Structure 1
Amino acid sequence: MAGLLTQIDRTLVRLFEAGPDGGRRRRERLARFGACTAVSLTGVALFLPNLTPYLASGQPAVGLGLGALGVVVCLGLIVAGALLYRSGFSTPNAVRIAVWNFLGLVVLGGVILGHGAYRGALGTVTTADALAAGNVLAISAAAHVIIGVHDARRVRAEQLAREREKFAVLSRVLRHNLRNDATVLIGQSERLVDELDGSLAETADALHQRSRTVGGLAEKTKTMVEALDRRSTPNARLNVHDVATDAVDEVREVVADEADVDITVDVPTNLWIWADDRIETALAELVENAVEHGGSDIRVTATTHDGTVDVRVEDDGPGIPDDERAILSGDTEITQLKHGSGLGLWVARSVAEAANGELTFDTDGERTVVRLAHDRAESPVEAAGDPSPAAAT
């Protein structure tokens, strides 16, 4: 049975998933429209039998109530078709839901038609029979739509699990290779810097810096993967001032030679948030990103409103390019030509979203503002001899 379901899944994906060519995309759109329309038409078709109590005189109240129930279910099917078209379900899964809806009609519809033929042969078909058929078919169709939605989610969950496994393996291999190769490059470039003079020494120094950047990609990728793979790990109650200070100190060590960079922290000492404990890394990435993109006056501040704490990194640099901002916000798809300039902002976004936070960008006059928003936490009652952050419940 499992093998049959897997084969059906592959067939649906092969037939109706969007492809790169125009014909494939048109077929995918038509299939989606047809599947969603079929769900809505089910409700339209079942209106009449559910209205029969209102079309005949002298019907009891219970019949009118059952008719009203059937009408409501039919309206729900019509709306469900429209919502399915605009939902995040892929076209193969939308078709899957429509097929479940069709099965709900066929299975019970065949039985009801047989009973109708039998009652007709006896000459006793009544309004109640039509209402019963309309009620049962409408409720069956609605129930099978719900079954289809759960089935589509099951299939999607299995697909995500397989993709996550492949991504984890690929990530480990890439991180391992990046780290090892970068270590070799760093060591060799350091030797070149010590042994060469003039322009060759400058070239070797540039190679050394690039090697360190490549090595840093492995750690940034690891942080992103850990954030994306975060399960039900509870958030921690963290002191914003401590997190911001440690993040800035970390960046200051990296940019110690850049005397024209001024980084200040203006955060209340008794302000707490619920967040992933990797937020320090995320905040350091934001500050370092501001330095790398020309910021000379960088400020880390925090404000609170409506139970939310906004940790802001402001700088006077040229700002985040519009195309990179569009990629990070999801307004533009990642392509070979459009993919962003680095992983720092992606690390910050991944860490924030893993803890139900939010990363946003804005321009405040001539300053660029990146905002990390997290739920505010009450100040903890310090346990004697236990200064560690308390875990959220």
Structure 2
Amino acid sequence: MSDENKQNIDFSMVLASAVHDMKNSLGMLLNSLDELRTEYQDSLGTSKRFNTLHYEAERMHNDLVQLLGIYRLGENNLSAHIDEHFVPDFLNEHLARHTPLLEGLGIQYQVASEDISGFFDEDLLTGVLNNTINNAIRYTRTLIRLTAREEDGYLVIGVEDDGQGYPESMQHSGTLSFKSLDFKSGSTSLGLFFASSVAKLHTEGDRTGFIRLRNGGSLGGGVFEIWLP
């Protein structure tokens, strides 16, 4: 191995370590923001500046989680640890994390799930949903809905909003490749690539998970779905 290649590998590890530290620091910041919101609910609960700070900190935290996941994927060190979960409980517990911000922004929220269990990696799916909900918060008008159902032998978990929906260029079904990331335009679709990678880690027989982006659904806006076999 040449000295140049060794330096490149070492530098990628340094970046990954720095991203990990930043992620942890932002996690502590988010916890502090939650405590401040609780302590000063009357003054901060509906503060536009405070909610913007909370939203942007959450968005950066999600981006760092995804960057670490993609780094691990590139190092062949990202795998799914599959366990059985009761889906309505998983979605309600997950949504509870976002409830203070949603209420502060005046956004309604719902869970519409069949009483089903699914087999998936809880941590990886949490990372996907965090990013998708954060994205829905940005574009919805008044309502976000988490959904879950069984279809064609897949567990389908969705995030719907009542915004204007995805542009035609983003509507997609299947898996994304790294080549689909467009760094020049500034629209990297990093979250979608991470979600697609997580879905692909879930397999059963010859079936593999995938994501689907479309418009419509029960709210008429954007619909993100992750299909897990």
TM-score class, shorter = 0.5 to 0.7
Q: Match of 1:352?
A: 199
Q: Match of 2:67?
A: 221
CA distance in 2, matches of 1:346, 1:325: 13
Q: Match of 1:235?
A: 82
**Structure 2 residue identity aligned to 1:316:** D
Q: Match of 1:273?
A: 118
CA distance in 2, matches of 1:292, 1:308: 28
Which is helix-richer, 1 or 2?
1
* Structure 2 portions without partners, runs of 5+: 37-47, 204-208
Query: Is 2:104 the counterpart of 1:257?
Result: yes
SS of the equivalent of 2:90 reads: helix
Cα displacement string for residues 34-69 of structure 1 (whole angstroms, at most 9, x for unaligned residues): xxxxxxxxxxxxxxxxxxxxxxxxxxxxxxxxxxxx
Question: Is the CA contact 2:80–2:201 (under 8 Å) kept in the aligned structure 1?
Answer: no
Q: Match of 1:145?
A: none
CA distance in 2, matches of 1:234, 1:208: 30
RMSD after superposition:
4.1
Change (3 A) 1:233 1:286: closer
CA distance in 2, matches of 1:243, 1:166: 37
Query: Is 2:16 the counterpart of 1:171?
Result: yes
Q: Match of 2:44?
A: none
Question: Is the CA contact 1:296–1:316 (under 8 Å) kept in the aligned structure 2?
Answer: yes
Change (3 A) 1:287 1:333: closer
- Relative contact order (alpha carbons < 8 A, sep ≥ 6): 1 or 2 greater? 2
Q: Match of 2:45?
A: none
Bigger Rg, which one: 1
**Structure 1 residue identity aligned to 2:139:** H
Following superposition, the deviation at residue 208 of structure 1 comes to 8.1
Change (3 A) 1:264 1:257: same
CA distance in 2, matches of 1:371, 1:181: 27
Which is strand-richer, 1 or 2?
2
Following superposition, the deviation at residue 255 of structure 1 comes to 2.5
Pairing of 1:1-393 with structure 2 (within 5 A): 167-176=12-21, 210=56, 213-225=59-71, 229-230=76-77, 233-259=80-106, 261-269=107-115, 271-278=116-123, 279-324=125-170, 329-330=176-177, 333-340=180-187, 343-356=190-203, 357-364=209-216, 366-375=220-229
Change (3 A) 1:351 1:227: farther
Cα displacement string for residues 243-282 of structure 1 (whole angstroms, at most 9, x for unaligned residues): 21122111213323111x111101123x122211221332
Aligned residues: 199
SS of the equivalent of 2:137 reads: helix
Following superposition, the deviation at residue 332 of structure 1 comes to 6.7
SS of the equivalent of 1:252 reads: helix
CA distance in 2, matches of 1:209, 1:311: 23
CA distance in 2, matches of 1:182, 1:234: 23
**Structure 2 residue identity aligned to 1:364:** G
**Structure 1 residue identity aligned to 2:216:** D
* Structure 1 portions without partners, runs of 5+: 7-158, 191-201, 376-393
Question: Is the CA contact 1:244–1:280 (under 8 Å) kept in the aligned structure 2?
Answer: no
CA distance in 1, matches of 2:152, 2:51: 50
